[in-house]
Amino acid sequence: MHPTTDNRPADRPALLLAMGPGVDERLFTEAHRARLAALTRTDPHLVAHDLTAPDARTAAALAEAELLLTCWGATPLTAGVLDRAPRLRAVVHAAGSIKHHVTDACWERGLRVTSAAAANALPVAEYTLAAILFAGKRVLRSARRYAELRTGHAWLEESADWGNHRRTVGVVGASRIGRRVIDLLRPFDVEILLYDPYTEVPGVESVSLDELCARSTVVSVHAPQLPSTYRMIGAAQLAAMPDGTTLINTSRGSLVDEPALLPHLLSGRLDAILDVTDPELPPPDSPLYTLPNVLLTPHVAGSLGNELHRMAEQAVGEVERYVRGEAFAEEVRASDLTRSA
Protein backbone atom coordinates (compact mmCIF):
# COMPACT_ATOMS: atom_id res chain seq x y z
CA MET A 1 0.00 0.00 0.00
CA HIS A 2 1.10 3.56 -0.65
CA PRO A 3 0.86 6.26 2.01
CA THR A 4 -2.57 7.75 2.62
CA THR A 5 -3.34 11.45 2.79
CA ASP A 6 -3.60 13.10 6.19
CA ASN A 7 -2.47 16.32 7.78
CA ARG A 8 1.03 15.14 8.66
CA PRO A 9 3.47 16.23 5.93
CA ALA A 10 5.88 13.40 6.69
CA ASP A 11 3.22 10.86 5.67
CA ARG A 12 2.82 12.34 2.21
CA PRO A 13 5.01 11.22 -0.71
CA ALA A 14 7.59 13.69 -2.00
CA LEU A 15 6.92 14.94 -5.52
CA LEU A 16 9.10 16.84 -7.98
CA LEU A 17 7.95 18.60 -11.14
CA ALA A 18 10.25 17.91 -14.12
CA MET A 19 9.62 19.47 -17.53
CA GLY A 20 10.88 22.04 -20.00
CA PRO A 21 11.21 25.74 -19.17
CA GLY A 22 7.86 27.55 -19.09
CA VAL A 23 5.77 24.40 -19.59
CA ASP A 24 4.49 24.36 -16.02
CA GLU A 25 3.23 27.94 -16.34
CA ARG A 26 0.96 26.94 -19.21
CA LEU A 27 0.05 23.54 -17.78
CA PHE A 28 -0.99 24.21 -14.19
CA THR A 29 -3.44 26.60 -12.66
CA GLU A 30 -2.87 27.76 -9.09
CA ALA A 31 -5.65 25.37 -8.09
CA HIS A 32 -3.66 22.45 -9.54
CA ARG A 33 -0.56 23.54 -7.64
CA ALA A 34 -2.56 23.86 -4.42
CA ARG A 35 -3.94 20.32 -4.84
CA LEU A 36 -0.44 18.95 -5.41
CA ALA A 37 0.81 20.77 -2.32
CA ALA A 38 -2.03 19.28 -0.26
CA LEU A 39 -1.45 15.77 -1.56
CA THR A 40 2.33 15.60 -1.50
CA ARG A 41 5.45 17.04 0.02
CA THR A 42 6.49 19.34 -2.79
CA ASP A 43 7.47 22.83 -3.69
CA PRO A 44 4.85 23.43 -6.41
CA HIS A 45 6.99 26.22 -7.88
CA LEU A 46 10.22 24.22 -8.08
CA VAL A 47 10.50 22.80 -11.60
CA ALA A 48 13.48 20.66 -12.62
CA HIS A 49 14.53 21.49 -16.17
CA ASP A 50 17.71 19.43 -16.15
CA LEU A 51 18.10 16.27 -14.09
CA THR A 52 21.42 15.30 -15.64
CA ALA A 53 23.31 18.11 -13.88
CA PRO A 54 20.88 19.44 -11.27
CA ASP A 55 21.67 22.35 -9.00
CA ALA A 56 21.84 21.68 -5.26
CA ARG A 57 18.18 22.47 -4.61
CA THR A 58 16.95 20.28 -7.45
CA ALA A 59 19.36 17.47 -6.53
CA ALA A 60 18.03 17.45 -2.97
CA ALA A 61 14.43 17.34 -4.19
CA LEU A 62 15.24 14.55 -6.65
CA ALA A 63 16.92 12.49 -3.93
CA GLU A 64 13.72 12.67 -1.86
CA ALA A 65 11.19 12.29 -4.67
CA GLU A 66 8.83 9.32 -4.64
CA LEU A 67 6.93 10.78 -7.59
CA LEU A 68 8.04 12.68 -10.67
CA LEU A 69 5.37 14.72 -12.45
CA THR A 70 6.67 15.27 -15.98
CA CYS A 71 5.56 16.93 -19.18
CA TRP A 72 7.07 18.12 -22.47
CA GLY A 73 10.80 18.70 -22.33
CA ALA A 74 11.42 16.34 -19.42
CA THR A 75 14.96 15.03 -19.03
CA PRO A 76 15.38 11.40 -20.20
CA LEU A 77 15.32 9.22 -17.09
CA THR A 78 18.54 7.35 -17.69
CA ALA A 79 20.21 5.02 -15.20
CA GLY A 80 22.45 7.91 -14.17
CA VAL A 81 19.49 10.16 -13.41
CA LEU A 82 17.70 7.38 -11.55
CA ASP A 83 20.80 6.79 -9.41
CA ARG A 84 20.14 10.28 -8.03
CA ALA A 85 16.53 9.31 -7.22
CA PRO A 86 16.75 6.26 -4.94
CA ARG A 87 13.25 6.78 -3.50
CA LEU A 88 11.50 7.17 -6.87
CA ARG A 89 8.52 4.86 -7.36
CA ALA A 90 6.37 6.39 -10.12
CA VAL A 91 6.39 8.79 -13.06
CA VAL A 92 3.19 10.72 -13.78
CA HIS A 93 3.38 12.25 -17.25
CA ALA A 94 1.03 15.17 -17.92
CA ALA A 95 1.13 14.72 -21.71
CA GLY A 96 0.90 11.96 -24.31
CA SER A 97 3.81 9.78 -25.34
CA ILE A 98 6.33 8.78 -22.66
CA LYS A 99 8.89 7.47 -25.15
CA HIS A 100 10.97 10.65 -25.07
CA HIS A 101 11.94 10.38 -21.40
CA VAL A 102 10.95 7.00 -19.92
CA THR A 103 13.90 4.73 -20.70
CA ASP A 104 14.52 1.00 -20.27
CA ALA A 105 16.18 1.82 -16.95
CA CYS A 106 12.78 2.91 -15.60
CA TRP A 107 11.20 -0.45 -16.38
CA GLU A 108 14.23 -2.33 -15.07
CA ARG A 109 13.81 -0.56 -11.72
CA GLY A 110 10.12 -1.36 -11.55
CA LEU A 111 8.85 2.21 -11.77
CA ARG A 112 5.15 2.67 -12.35
CA VAL A 113 4.28 5.03 -15.20
CA THR A 114 1.11 6.80 -16.25
CA SER A 115 0.38 9.37 -18.96
CA ALA A 116 -2.29 11.86 -19.96
CA ALA A 117 -2.52 10.45 -23.48
CA ALA A 118 -6.27 9.97 -23.04
CA ALA A 119 -6.73 13.65 -22.22
CA ASN A 120 -4.58 14.67 -25.17
CA ALA A 121 -6.58 12.41 -27.51
CA LEU A 122 -9.73 14.50 -27.26
CA PRO A 123 -8.55 17.73 -28.96
CA VAL A 124 -6.87 15.70 -31.72
CA ALA A 125 -10.11 13.83 -32.32
CA GLU A 126 -12.07 17.10 -32.30
CA TYR A 127 -9.70 18.62 -34.86
CA THR A 128 -10.07 15.48 -36.98
CA LEU A 129 -13.86 15.52 -36.81
CA ALA A 130 -13.89 19.13 -37.99
CA ALA A 131 -11.45 18.26 -40.78
CA ILE A 132 -13.58 15.31 -41.93
CA LEU A 133 -16.79 17.33 -42.04
CA PHE A 134 -15.09 20.26 -43.78
CA ALA A 135 -13.53 17.87 -46.28
CA GLY A 136 -16.91 16.46 -47.17
CA LYS A 137 -18.30 19.94 -47.77
CA ARG A 138 -15.22 20.85 -49.85
CA VAL A 139 -14.74 23.88 -47.62
CA LEU A 140 -11.09 24.38 -48.51
CA ARG A 141 -11.62 24.34 -52.27
CA SER A 142 -14.83 26.37 -52.21
CA ALA A 143 -13.32 29.03 -49.93
CA ARG A 144 -10.31 29.43 -52.22
CA ARG A 145 -12.54 29.49 -55.30
CA TYR A 146 -14.86 32.05 -53.73
CA ALA A 147 -11.89 34.28 -52.93
CA GLU A 148 -10.78 34.06 -56.57
CA LEU A 149 -14.22 34.75 -58.10
CA ARG A 150 -15.54 37.37 -55.67
CA THR A 151 -18.88 37.26 -57.44
CA GLY A 152 -22.04 35.19 -57.70
CA HIS A 153 -21.51 31.64 -58.91
CA ALA A 154 -23.63 28.57 -59.69
CA TRP A 155 -22.28 26.53 -56.78
CA LEU A 156 -24.93 23.84 -57.11
CA GLU A 157 -23.72 22.99 -60.58
CA GLU A 158 -20.24 22.01 -59.40
CA SER A 159 -21.15 20.49 -56.05
CA ALA A 160 -22.67 17.19 -57.17
CA ASP A 161 -20.11 15.17 -55.20
CA TRP A 162 -19.99 17.45 -52.16
CA GLY A 163 -21.52 16.72 -48.78
CA ASN A 164 -21.28 14.26 -45.91
CA HIS A 165 -24.38 12.13 -46.58
CA ARG A 166 -23.25 8.49 -46.78
CA ARG A 167 -19.63 9.52 -47.25
CA THR A 168 -17.08 6.79 -46.51
CA VAL A 169 -14.46 7.66 -43.92
CA GLY A 170 -11.44 5.42 -43.48
CA VAL A 171 -9.75 5.46 -40.07
CA VAL A 172 -6.20 4.12 -40.05
CA GLY A 173 -5.39 2.89 -36.56
CA ALA A 174 -7.65 2.07 -33.61
CA SER A 175 -5.48 4.09 -31.25
CA ARG A 176 -7.00 6.17 -28.46
CA ILE A 177 -7.41 8.97 -30.97
CA GLY A 178 -8.66 6.69 -33.74
CA ARG A 179 -11.31 5.19 -31.46
CA ARG A 180 -12.32 8.63 -30.23
CA VAL A 181 -12.72 9.81 -33.84
CA ILE A 182 -14.94 6.81 -34.53
CA ASP A 183 -17.07 7.65 -31.48
CA LEU A 184 -17.42 11.28 -32.58
CA LEU A 185 -18.45 10.15 -36.08
CA ARG A 186 -21.21 7.80 -34.91
CA PRO A 187 -23.99 10.46 -34.83
CA PHE A 188 -23.28 11.37 -38.46
CA ASP A 189 -24.64 9.66 -41.54
CA VAL A 190 -21.30 8.30 -42.72
CA GLU A 191 -19.88 4.84 -43.32
CA ILE A 192 -16.75 4.11 -41.28
CA LEU A 193 -14.00 1.70 -42.30
CA LEU A 194 -11.14 0.73 -40.00
CA TYR A 195 -7.69 -0.63 -40.64
CA ASP A 196 -5.86 -1.94 -37.60
CA PRO A 197 -3.98 -5.27 -37.58
CA TYR A 198 -4.53 -5.77 -33.83
CA THR A 199 -7.85 -4.23 -32.86
CA GLU A 200 -11.46 -4.31 -34.01
CA VAL A 201 -14.14 -1.81 -33.00
CA PRO A 202 -17.73 -3.01 -32.56
CA GLY A 203 -20.05 -1.77 -35.28
CA VAL A 204 -17.20 -0.73 -37.59
CA GLU A 205 -16.13 -2.71 -40.64
CA SER A 206 -12.48 -3.78 -40.48
CA VAL A 207 -10.70 -3.97 -43.82
CA SER A 208 -7.18 -4.12 -45.20
CA LEU A 209 -5.29 -0.88 -45.64
CA ASP A 210 -5.44 -1.16 -49.42
CA GLU A 211 -9.20 -1.73 -49.37
CA LEU A 212 -9.71 1.18 -46.98
CA CYS A 213 -7.81 3.51 -49.29
CA ALA A 214 -9.71 2.30 -52.36
CA ARG A 215 -13.17 2.69 -50.79
CA SER A 216 -12.80 5.86 -48.72
CA THR A 217 -13.29 9.46 -49.77
CA VAL A 218 -11.65 10.65 -46.54
CA VAL A 219 -8.65 8.80 -45.07
CA SER A 220 -7.60 9.83 -41.56
CA VAL A 221 -4.31 8.54 -40.12
CA HIS A 222 -4.13 7.68 -36.40
CA ALA A 223 -1.54 4.90 -36.19
CA PRO A 224 1.49 5.22 -33.89
CA GLN A 225 4.95 6.11 -35.11
CA LEU A 226 6.81 2.79 -35.19
CA PRO A 227 9.35 1.23 -37.55
CA SER A 228 6.52 -0.87 -38.99
CA THR A 229 4.36 2.18 -39.75
CA TYR A 230 7.02 4.22 -41.55
CA ARG A 231 5.41 5.53 -44.78
CA MET A 232 2.55 3.06 -44.41
CA ILE A 233 0.51 5.42 -46.61
CA GLY A 234 2.76 4.91 -49.61
CA ALA A 235 2.61 5.14 -53.38
CA ALA A 236 0.29 2.15 -53.78
CA GLN A 237 -2.17 3.36 -51.15
CA LEU A 238 -2.22 6.90 -52.54
CA ALA A 239 -2.78 5.65 -56.10
CA ALA A 240 -5.71 3.54 -54.87
CA MET A 241 -7.55 6.54 -53.41
CA PRO A 242 -10.41 7.79 -55.59
CA ASP A 243 -10.10 11.19 -57.23
CA GLY A 244 -11.09 13.90 -54.77
CA THR A 245 -10.17 11.92 -51.66
CA THR A 246 -8.93 13.96 -48.69
CA LEU A 247 -5.99 12.60 -46.69
CA ILE A 248 -5.89 13.80 -43.08
CA ASN A 249 -2.76 13.27 -40.98
CA THR A 250 -2.75 14.26 -37.31
CA SER A 251 -0.44 11.41 -36.23
CA ARG A 252 3.18 11.77 -37.38
CA GLY A 253 4.53 12.93 -40.71
CA SER A 254 6.64 9.82 -41.19
CA LEU A 255 3.53 7.65 -41.63
CA VAL A 256 2.87 9.24 -45.05
CA ASP A 257 5.23 9.01 -48.02
CA GLU A 258 5.20 12.73 -48.78
CA PRO A 259 7.34 12.50 -51.94
CA ALA A 260 4.74 10.06 -53.29
CA LEU A 261 1.86 12.26 -52.09
CA LEU A 262 3.11 15.49 -53.63
CA PRO A 263 2.36 14.66 -57.31
CA HIS A 264 -1.25 13.83 -56.36
CA LEU A 265 -1.55 17.20 -54.62
CA LEU A 266 0.14 19.16 -57.40
CA SER A 267 -2.24 17.66 -59.96
CA GLY A 268 -5.24 18.38 -57.76
CA ARG A 269 -6.29 14.73 -57.76
CA LEU A 270 -6.17 14.50 -53.95
CA ASP A 271 -6.67 16.99 -51.13
CA ALA A 272 -4.78 16.95 -47.84
CA ILE A 273 -5.20 18.30 -44.33
CA LEU A 274 -1.81 17.95 -42.66
CA ASP A 275 -1.13 18.88 -39.06
CA VAL A 276 2.15 16.95 -39.14
CA THR A 277 4.77 16.57 -41.85
CA ASP A 278 8.14 14.92 -42.41
CA PRO A 279 10.26 16.85 -41.63
CA GLU A 280 8.18 18.44 -38.89
CA LEU A 281 8.86 21.88 -40.37
CA PRO A 282 8.62 21.81 -44.18
CA PRO A 283 11.32 23.78 -46.01
CA PRO A 284 10.40 27.38 -46.89
CA ASP A 285 9.92 26.53 -50.58
CA SER A 286 7.60 23.58 -49.93
CA PRO A 287 4.45 23.72 -52.09
CA LEU A 288 2.47 22.47 -49.08
CA TYR A 289 2.32 26.07 -47.85
CA THR A 290 0.58 27.40 -50.95
CA LEU A 291 -1.32 24.61 -52.71
CA PRO A 292 -5.01 25.49 -52.83
CA ASN A 293 -6.05 21.91 -52.03
CA VAL A 294 -3.84 21.60 -48.92
CA LEU A 295 -4.55 22.83 -45.40
CA LEU A 296 -1.26 22.85 -43.49
CA THR A 297 -1.31 23.54 -39.76
CA PRO A 298 1.70 23.68 -37.39
CA HIS A 299 1.04 20.60 -35.21
CA VAL A 300 -1.79 22.25 -33.30
CA ALA A 301 -4.32 19.39 -33.24
CA GLY A 302 -3.09 18.23 -29.83
CA SER A 303 -3.55 20.02 -26.55
CA LEU A 304 -2.72 23.71 -26.51
CA GLY A 305 -3.92 26.81 -24.70
CA ASN A 306 -6.57 26.00 -22.12
CA GLU A 307 -6.62 22.37 -23.28
CA LEU A 308 -3.37 21.84 -21.39
CA HIS A 309 -5.36 22.16 -18.17
CA ARG A 310 -7.21 18.96 -19.09
CA MET A 311 -3.91 17.08 -19.12
CA ALA A 312 -2.93 18.67 -15.81
CA GLU A 313 -6.25 17.62 -14.34
CA GLN A 314 -5.70 14.02 -15.37
CA ALA A 315 -2.15 14.03 -13.99
CA VAL A 316 -3.22 15.47 -10.64
CA GLY A 317 -5.96 12.86 -10.51
CA GLU A 318 -3.35 10.13 -10.97
CA VAL A 319 -1.31 11.61 -8.11
CA GLU A 320 -4.45 11.44 -5.96
CA ARG A 321 -4.92 7.78 -6.87
CA TYR A 322 -1.31 7.02 -5.99
CA VAL A 323 -1.63 8.72 -2.61
CA ARG A 324 -4.81 6.73 -1.86
CA GLY A 325 -3.04 3.49 -2.77
CA GLU A 326 -5.19 2.93 -5.86
CA ALA A 327 -4.23 1.75 -9.34
CA PHE A 328 -3.51 4.40 -11.94
CA ALA A 329 -6.42 5.00 -14.29
CA GLU A 330 -4.09 5.25 -17.31
CA GLU A 331 -1.07 3.14 -16.40
CA VAL A 332 1.49 2.54 -19.14
CA ARG A 333 3.45 -0.71 -19.27
CA ALA A 334 6.60 -1.49 -21.18
CA SER A 335 4.74 -4.01 -23.33
CA ASP A 336 2.36 -1.26 -24.50
CA LEU A 337 5.15 0.61 -26.26
CA THR A 338 5.54 -1.92 -29.07
CA ARG A 339 2.15 -0.85 -30.45
CA SER A 340 1.64 2.68 -29.14
CA ALA A 341 3.13 6.11 -29.63
* Residues belonging to the active site: 252, 280, 299
Return d(Cα 2, Cα 229) in angstroms, integer.
39
Q: Can you give the length of the chain in residues? A: 341
What 3-state DSSP class applies to 70? strand
**CA gap 63, 182 in Å, rounded:** 45
Alpha-carbon distance 206 to 211, whole Å?
Answer: 10
What burial class does residue 115 get, using C-beta atoms within 10 Å of its C-beta: 0-12 exposed, 13-18 middle, 19+ buried?
buried
Question: At 127, phi and psi to the nearest 5?
Answer: -60, -45
Tell me the sheet residues that pair with 256. 233
Alpha-carbon distance 339 to 198, whole Å?
A: 9
C-alpha distance from residue 246 to each of 30, 89, 133 (Å): 42, 46, 11
Return d(Cα 275, Cα 220) in angstroms, integer: 11
Amino acid present at 12: R
CA distance 194 to 219: 10
